[in-house]
Structures are given as structure tokens and as C-alpha cells.
Structure 1
Amino acid sequence: MTTIKAITRPNSEEVQDKLSELQIWFGNNTNLPEKIEPIVLLRFLKCMQYDIDKTKALIELNYNIRNRNPNLFIDRNMEDAMTAKGLKVSDLLILPGLTPERHKLLLFRMTDFDPNTRNSVEETKIFFMMADARFTSPDVEHKQASSTTADNAAAAESRTNLCPDDIAEGDVQIVDISGYTMRHLAHVSIFVLRVYMKFLQEAYPSQLRAIHIINCPSFLDRMMAMMKPFIREEVYQMINYHTEGMESLYQLVPKDMLPLEYGGKAGTIAELKAQGLQMLKEKTAYLSDAQHWRAAAQSKSRWSWF
């Protein structure tokens, strides 16, 4: 989602009341899956500034698009040969910590520059697998609890009492397109691009705050001309092009939060990627559980978004 108005947050009790109302509504709505993680429900609610009706509309659109495109959002397994290949030829990193504006940084880059390794379906599938896995945990990294019984009980209670402050105020994407050529564009599926952009801009339970494109090629204008029909004007205005090195990026995102290879202190790309892959492994059962993704029933009158 891309609405960026200031959020007026209700108090803790009001948030819990809204979540309870949404949980009951979700469970009774046969056009939605059987299950949703409480923290995911909170993400939807916070994204829509705690407006119940808007939150319901966002949730319905999210699962509608998923069920319309199960090859991208539901039928997924990181052990699948094509998905495993996609994980090797690209890096999608969820960087630790939050910016001073409480935004989460995501970084994408190719690792194999052969255009024949590109696969729009798998790249889209992997992006939203990572997002769905990430959304089940707080964005704020809390200190490890000690091994005492009292501290473990306190940690368990904090996980039960969901806090909006544990969730980022939005996402910032950094896209490194070094190595891209016009031949790569020929491997982009227009259909998949359309679905990807619609979901990201209209159904994603986190507000998109900025997009930074680094290591831009000379044909950037032609690449963006192909994508612009699928990008809403307010999102297009969020795109920053960094054509002369990294200094302009450092002025907009904290340098220290970037991987070592980009001048930061967040760890090496290999370390960060290993952490992401471990997260996917730990969430494999969740990501492949149809009860979290497939609608319980699909009424034709309700499934008419496209």
C-alpha cells in the first residue's frame, strides 16, 4: 500500500478491540483463508491507519489477488528446482534494523547476469515468500531473553501482546540493476509485472515509502518506459535514480545499515542472504499451508476484481 498520511494510533486497548473484531470477521468470511497470524492482521490494520473498513477491503483484495494467481502466491516451495535456482541467481536481502524514520530496508540485485537465468514468476514468488515470512515476526529486534523462567515468561507475554511499535512504518526498496541489459528486458513477463505491481501498490500490508535504483545503465529511460504503465503516479514520484555512485544514496538511507559490499556495517551479503534463507526454511510449513492462503470458498460474485 502507498497511502502515506500521518497515522493517529488508538490506545493499546482500542487496538486490541479492533484486532478482535477483525479476527471474528476474518473467521466468518468464506472468501478468506481459514487462518491468519495475529501479527499479520495487525500489519493490515496499521497499514490502513486503524480504519476497520479500509482494513477489511485491503485484506479482501490481498487474498483475492493471491487466489487469482496461485502460481505466484500460493503454490510455493523453496525446495522446488525452479525456486531454488531463482534463490541462487538473485539476492533479496531484508536488512536488519529500522531507519530513523522507522522504515525497513530491502535490497535486490542479480548475481548471475545471464539473461537466460531470469524468471519473472520465480522472482515474484520469492519476493512475496520473503515478505510473508518476514511479516510473521516483529520488525523491531528485541534483545534475547535470558534463560530464567521469569524472563522467558515475560518474553512469551510480549509476543502475545502485539504492539504496533514493533512494526515498521513502511518499506524502502533498494534495487541494484548493475549487469542489466536490454536482453534482460525481453525476459520480463508483462502479465507477471502487472500482477506484481498491482499487489505491491494496492494489496501489500506495508506502505511503500521510497524506491532507490542504483548502478543505473544508459538505457534506464527505455526500461522505465516499459514499467511506467504499471506504476501509479504517487509511486513513480517515490523513485530515486542514483546514476553517479553511492553518495546520493547515503544521503537518503543510513549508510551503516547497508551490507559491507555497499559501504555499510550490516554484515556481508553472504551472511545476510544466509539469514534470509534460514528464515524461509523455518517458515516452510507456514508458507505452504493452504489454510493460510487459499480462500475457504470462492463466490463468483465476490471474485470480480479483474
Structure 2
Amino acid sequence: MVHIKDNEQLMAQRVAELQDLIKAHPQLPQNISSTLLRRFLHTTRGDVAAAQRLLQLNYAMRNKHPQIFIERDPLDASSQQLLQVADLVPLPGLTPENNKLLFYRLIDHDADKFNFTASIKVFFMVADCRFATETDGRLSDGEIPIFDMAGYSLRHLTKTVLSSLRVYMKFVQEAHPVRLKEIHVLNCPSYLDKVLTVVKPFIKSEVFKLIHFHLPGADTPFKHFPRSMLPEEYGGEAGKMSQLKQHWMHLLEQQREYLMESSNWKINKCKKSSSSNNNNACNTMTHSLKTLEID
């Protein structure tokens, strides 16, 4: 197995191989950018076949749940409302271990303003926006999401839409082109057990082992990543959260057409080729869609 690291020539060769495989699957979008294909390959450490499987699962899930992954607009009322209520911000830079920090928190604690499904849609729009604009040549070895539970109440928990939670958990654990290294939950409340009762059934055991829970005011998170990488509000040096967020809101607006254009994401299940190999590929994708049932 080739581990791709700072070898752009080899990566370009792998991207070309993956592009050829996509051409053999005419029902897949044929305009997937080399930037995005590079991320899939990076996630699978250069394994082209594994990247193809991950990509097929990614797009199959998107098409099974278009209300989350395809029918979306970062400027619509529900998305804008969610962005007034919560911060979903990839932080600048990489840790000494070459990992990316992603920060999520509530900024308006009124549970009546919180739309759970909208938060899932915005989460994936930010991710898709980030993956589309990674052009600096260096990808992180892994990802470290940080969830600040300050202000999260039991009333917020009642807003959880289990069908959306199920899709979110399945996608991020099986179809998302990232290497999850750790998950940190800050400012854990006394009713954390009630929250876990809802979410834990959807978390794979190997993923749950990656979660670190931290009490309010604890310094334990900084055993895992530098405090300096956090926003100023958390004693860091990354800048004010509002400024960091504004950067990503601007990118969402810039990438709006890309996010909303259905041809970038939709599978054409009826499209066939005269090639028997392509017909077999189409049958494989159709089978993948049929087997993507979520209980």
C-alpha cells in the first residue's frame, strides 16, 4: 500500500486512475473536481479501489437523502437562521500532528430557534465547501471535531430529529472523506448521560472510543491540541470567532452555485452505456443504492 504524503506526482497519477474509473460509471456525476478526488484518495492513503468505494457510498447516500445533501441553499432562511444560532467553523492551521480542528458551538441558547435538521444540512455544506477549496497542496492527516456544549439544554435535546441524526451518523462514520482522529466535547453538562442515551446507539464502538469528554473550565483538552489554535474567546490566538465565521460564511456564499447545482451531486440511475463493463458498473451502483437502507 502506498501512503501518499507530499508526493503530488503520484497523487496526480492516482487522480487520473480514479477519473478513469468514474468514466466507467456513467451514472455518477462526471464533473467531480480533481481537488475533491484528491481528498477521497488522501483519506484512503492512495488506495484507488478504496477511494472509488468510498466515493460511490458517498454519492449513493447523498441521493438516498436529497433533502439533506442536494436540496439545499446556504442563503435560505433555515440555513441563515441556523448560522445566527450556532458556529460551525473549521479553524485555521494544523496541529503539530498535522490534524485539522473543527469547532462547533451554540451562540444563541434559545432552544426554540434551534433547527436540528438545518444544523445537519449546514454542517455538510461547510464540509463540501471546505473540500472544494482545498487548493494549497497540503491536507491534514486527520480531523478533530470539537463540540462545546455550553448553552445546550435538555430542551435542545428534544429538538433532535432521529431520522436526521441517523443519516448524519451513518454518513460521517462510513461515507465522509476524512480520517477521524479524536472527538472532544467541552463543557459537558450534568445531564450528559441523557444526551448519550439518544446519540450513543448511532455511534460505532470504535468511534465512541475516540470521544473525550471535558468538564466546564477543564484544561484537559489542551493535552490533545494547542490552546493557541483556538479562537480568542477560548484563550487562543486564532482570532475572534466572529471573524473566523465570517470567512466561512463568505466562502459558503461564493460556493453557493456549486453547492446547489444538482448535477454536481445527483446520480443518473437511468444512464447507461453501450459498453458491457459500463452496464455492469451501472448495475453495481443501482445495487449499492438498494442496499443503503437505514433501519
Same fold, TM-score > 0.5, yes or no:
yes
1:99 to 89, 92, 95: 95
The aligned residue for residue 259 of structure 1 is 231
* Residue equivalent to 1:296: 268
Tell me the equivalent position of 1:149.
none
SS at match of 2:72: coil
Q: Distance in 1 between matches of 2:186 and 2:288?
A: 41
Q: Are 1:275 and 2:242 an aligned pair?
A: no
The alignment partner of 1:168 has SS state of coil
Partner of 1:229: 201
Q: 1:103: Cα distance to partner?
A: 0.8
Asked if 1:130 corresponds to 2:126, the answer is yes
Show the 5 A alignment for 1:117-196.
117-138=113-134, 163=137, 166-196=138-168
1:87-106 CA-partner distances (Å, limit 9, x unpaired): 11111111000001111111
The secondary structure found in structure 1 opposite 2:150 is coil
Aligned letter for 1:38?
S
Kindly tell me the number of residue pairs found equivalent between the two proteins. Answer: 277
Determine helix, strand or coil for the equivalent of 1:57: helix
User: One-letter code of the match for 1:126?
Assistant: V
Secondary structure at 1:217's aligned position in 2? coil
Q: Find the residue that maps to 1:77 and give its secondary structure.
A: coil
Is residue 2:10 matched to residue 1:14? yes
Aligned to 1:154: none
**Pair 1:55 & 2:51 matched:** yes
Offset of 1:138 from its aligned partner? 2.7
Structure 2: which 5+ runs fail to align?
Answer: 271-282
- State, as a whole percentage, how many aligned pairs show the same letter: 37
**Cα distance in 2, alignment partners of residues 218 and 139 from structure 1:** 42
Aligned to 1:26: 22
Q: So what's the TM-score if we normalise by structure 1?
A: 0.86
Distance 2:30 2:47 in 1: 22
Q: Quote how far apart the aligned CAs of 1:255 are.
A: 0.7
Give the whole-Å Cα distance in 1 for the aligned partners of 2:191 and 2:8. 50
Q: Displacement, 1:56?
A: 0.9
Q: Which amino acid aligns with 1:199?
A: F
Contact 2:35 2:135 survives alignment (8 Å): no
2:109 is the alignment partner of 1:113: yes
Range 58-67 or range 70-79, more displaced? 70-79
Residue type at the aligned position of 2:58 = N
1:30, distance to aligned residue in structure 2 (A): 2.9
Asked if 2 retains the 8 angstrom alpha-carbon contact of 1:139 and 1:167, the reply is no
CA offset at residue 15 of structure 1? 2.4
Counterpart pick for 2:74 among 74, 78, 82: 78
Q: CA deviation at 1:139?
A: 7.4
Q: Which residue of 2 aligns with 1:159?
A: none
Check conservation: 1:27, 1:35, Cα contact below 8 A.
no
Deviation for aligned residue 1:221: 1.2
Shift of residue 82 of structure 1? 1.1
Decide whether aligned partners of structure 1 residues 16 and 214 sit closer, same or farther in structure 2, where only a CA change above 3 A counts: same
Distance 1:260 1:12 in 2: 35
Change (3 A) 1:7 1:107: farther
In structure 1, the residue corresponding to 2:108 is in which secondary structure? Answer: coil
Q: Distance in 2 between matches of 1:139 and 1:257?
A: 21
Q: Give the counterpart letter for 2:287 in structure 1.
A: S
**Pick aligned residue for 2:259 from 287, 297, 300:** 287
Go from structure 1 to structure 2 and tell me whether the alpha carbon gap of 1:91 and 1:249 turns closer, same or farther (over 3 Å shift). same
Distance 1:127 1:246 in 2: 26
Q: Give the match's secondary structure for 1:301.
A: helix
**Alpha-carbon distance in 1 for matches of 2:9, 2:181:** 28
- Contact 2:186–2:213, Cα closer than 8 Å, also in 1: yes
1:114 shift after superposition:
1.5
Provide the TM-score with structure 2 as the length reference. 0.89
* Cα distance between partner residues in 1 of 2:20 and 2:264: 15
Alignment match of 2:213 (pick from 229, 241, 244)? 241
Q: Check whether the contact 1:34–1:295 (CA below 8 A) recurs between aligned residues.
A: no
Work out whether residues 129 and 252 of structure 2, in 8 Å CA contact, stay in contact via their aligned partners in 1.
yes
Distance 2:26 2:192 in 1: 45
